[in-house]
Structure 1
Amino acid sequence: MTQLFFCVLSLTGLLFFLRLRLAVLNIKSKRNIERKVIDEASYTIIQPILSGDPRLKQDLEKNLARTKTMRFIWLVDKSDAIAQAVTAEILEEPSYHERTICLLLEDVPEKINPKSFKLLQGIEKIQTEYAIILDDDSVIDFQRFDEMTSCEQRSDEFLVTGIPYNHGQTGFWSQLVASFVNSNSLLTYFPMAHVKETNTVNGMFYIVKTEILRKYHVFERIQEELCDDLAIADYLSERGVQLIQSSIPCNVRTTIKEPMQYLRLMKRWLLFATIYMKRHYSLRLFFLVVLPSILPIILLIWGLWLGVVPTLLVVGGLGAKAIILKSCRNRIFAIRENRSVILYEVLNDFLLPVLYLYTLVTPPVILWRNKKIRVSDGKIRYE
């Protein structure tokens, strides 16, 4: 039994280094491409905006401050007085006001995805060649945006998705969410891209030619889909549009203040992941994503049964994994994380399988915009 334990522990380590190797190879392939200066005037950032996050003003301003000529379209609900006040305050700065359109929109109809509903109306206002779809809690690293110059030379139809990370969080639950994003981002998006299985997009940040969105009536066709990122990936892939995983970073910070808020968010994400796995299950997905996610809790329980030394080996091994990933993120994203992220990532490794089991055994219902929605096939179905 002990020998089998050490075999599984070794397998876990091998899978980690395999995923890390694939990620590094994929990143290096992008770093070696020829880059030129980006023409910001060819891009418009379009953002559906909703109040609620305390960093809303800060994140919106950062994207404006880090660009000079790039255009912005903000999509705000007429009923959202707080979001209107925040955007109005930002646009008091003349240079920001000059290149930003703020649209006030009616409330979203029943059974329609709010994000798709807003984007559908905003696309009409875009006058640039490219559209950047960006969540209101996301900040792009424009120092790496010149990777887009290689894509601009392509003659086929394509969509470029960025790589998310979560840096600068405070508070236990927010940092726990950050650990989920950070411990999975590099080891999921890049390895799957390297084995030619980019089947979804980072819905918080992606770039596509405006004419593609109009030609295929994208947001009109997917407006009844709950998982808009998976829906747009599936819809465009079926029409021959290539999905490209870039290494352009995007800092996504979700503020979570209480345990039930954390549980609801994780359940929603894991339900969406379940829909993805149903549509795109493969052996590569199993060995590069699913199996590495479930082995830590199995090893922990097994180690506790065997004794102190096996348990310490499991915890120590996951700690070493977290240290390596922290070092990689600091280099790739040019950030400096606190040492506490190591503890949060180890905790996340143990919690993730438990949360997924909870997601499977409880009704597939989420609370979204104060409404209960049953998540089964990806459609918006109210309870």
Structure 2
Amino acid sequence: MYLFYGLSISFVFFFCLRWLLAKRYTKPRNDGAIDEREYTVLQPILSGDPRLAEDLRGNLEQTTEMLFMWLVDKSDVVAQEVTQNILQEPDYAKRVTIVLLEDVPQEVNPKVYKLKQVMNEITTPYFMVLDDDSVFNRVRLNEMSHYEKVTEDFIVTGIPYNFGQTGLWSKLVAAFVNSNSLLTYFPMAEVKANQTINGMFYISRTELFQRLAVFEKIQYELCDDLAVAAFLAKNNVRIIQSQIPCNVRNTVLQPKKYVLLMKRWLLFASIYIKTFPSVALFFLIIVPSFLPGLLLLISIFLGWQYIVGTLGLFSLKAILLRTYRNQFFEGKESLSVIGYEVLNDIFLPFLFIYTLVTPPIIQWRNKKIKVTDGKIRYV
């Protein structure tokens, strides 16, 4: 009983600590306007997601002069058809270049391989790496006007958000992303311990990446976002956590796909923990991540009253986070997200256990990779 109360107090304490740190970091900004002509968006594209065309259009519709480079496999006929259909619109065709690439060599990171091929072809001062299932917020992108004035080398990373999902499994993925995003990236940045980037969406100076040959140097690394951050940190490049949102939507239609995706993310998280251990990481990410599972486990042994109390704490956390997200992202989420976040807190302990007891092998697109030392190891 005392253990349950102790864990409950710890759960509330660490949530409040992270929430307060995140709120301190999210300050209102009066942004100037960026010049879209100074930016090129690099998007490695692979077919398979039913929202591919919708998401690609989503970024084009928000911009008028920004350039895009779509990096497509020569063997990916579906992706070629999708992109060509979008470019039937003349205004889009003027700003988009489709680059067809050979299949990725063995032991090379597929995304980095594509980026490496075109990095030296960019002529704009800034470039943006954006996943093909991600849509940035053009208005909030004006925050870059602050960072354009920075004289030192830097990379700006956005804040992931998962909005507009349909279907149980996709909504559970969204619950995982949204319940962790603001309380992970912002608190770590507030205490100046942010050492990684959101690989789905980041921006930097073109000259910097060309000079350091970043993608060339990290092409054999499994976690490209972690590898980029680690390499740049060694070269004294400042990592800036911005408040620029990016809607990242993972379409998951089957429970098996959900479990495999969550396992992949948890294994990637373990690589980050091993690479950048710190006191801040331990108290702001690791401990708060394990507390819900411990609390749930203890409550199951103590009885239904304690289970109800635990679910009440999970619900209160989900309600407060929904309020925070609605304020920060300037939207209005459905009340149902509260239930999905509670389910996420319930499922996560079992997903942790599944990840620990099964071989460290992930399904990445159509290939199996063994996650050991952070390198690409195909099975």
Please give the range of the TM-score, normalised by the shorter of the 2 chains. over 0.9
Instruction: Work out whether 1:276 is the aligned partner of 2:272.
Output: yes
% same residue: 55
Alpha-carbon RMSD: 1.0
Partner in structure 1 of residue 112 of structure 2: 116
- 1:345 equivalent in structure 2: 341
Q: How does 1:43-192 map to 2 (within 5 A)?
A: 43-192=39-188
Aligned equivalent of 1:251, options 240, 247, 254? 247
CA displacement 1:46-95 (0-9 Å, x = unmatched): 10000000000000001001011111010011111111011101111111
C-alpha distance in 2, partners of 1:261/1:311?
29
3-state SS, counterpart of residue 165 of structure 2 = coil
Residue type of the alignment partner of 1:347: L
Pairwise mapping of residues 344-363 of structure 1 onto structure 2 (< 5 A)? 344-363=340-359
Is it true that 1:39 corresponds to 2:35 in the alignment?
A: yes
Structure 1, residues 341-373: CA drift from partner, whole Å, max 9, x if none? 111111111222221222122111112232221
Deviation at 1:340, TM superposition (A): 1.2
Residue identity opposite 1:88 in structure 2: Q
CA distance in 2, matches of 1:77, 1:143: 31
Q: Secondary structure at the match of 2:240?
A: strand
Q: Decide whether the 8 Å contact of 1:293 with 1:353 is kept in 2.
A: no
Cα distance between partner residues in 2 of 1:214 and 1:175? 39
How far apart in 1 are the matches of 2:100 and 2:66? 21
Distance 1:332 1:144 in 2: 11
Rounded to whole Å, the distance in 2 between the matches of 1:343 and 1:261 is: 21
Q: Which runs of 5+ in 1 are unaligned?
A: none
Deviations 1:114-167, CA, capped at 9 Å, x for gaps: 101100112122110000000000000111111111111111000000000100
Q: Aligned partners of 1:372, 1:46: CA distance in 2, in Å?
A: 26
State the alpha-carbon separation in 2 of the partners of residues 65 and 372 from structure 1. 36
Note the residue ranges of structure 2 that are not aligned, 5 or more in a row.
none
Name the residue aligned to 1:335.
Answer: 331
* 2-structure distance, mates of 1:357, 1:308: 23
Residue identity opposite 1:128 in structure 2: T
Q: Single out whichever of 299-308 and 166-175 deviates more from structure 2.
A: 299-308
Give secondary structure in 2 for the equivalent of 1:154: coil
Question: What is the match of residue 6 of structure 2?
Answer: 7
> CA separation in 2, counterparts of 1:73 and 1:267?
31
Q: Which residue type is aligned with residue 235 of structure 2?
A: R
Corresponding position of 2:208: 212
CA contact under 8 A between 1:293 and 1:349: conserved in structure 2? no
Q: Which residue of 1 aligns with 2:196?
A: 200
AA matched with 2:376: I
Letter of the 1:5 counterpart: F
C-alpha distance in structure 1 between counterparts of 2:367 and 2:91, whole Å = 39
Q: Which moved more, 1:226-235 or 1:278-287?
A: 278-287
Cα deviation 1:257-287 (Å, max 9, x = unaligned)? 1111111111111111000000111221111
After TM superposition, the score normalised by the length of structure 1 is 0.97
Aligned to 1:17: 16
Q: Secondary structure at the match of 1:142?
A: coil
3-state secondary structure, aligned to 1:153: coil
Matched residue type, 1:58: E
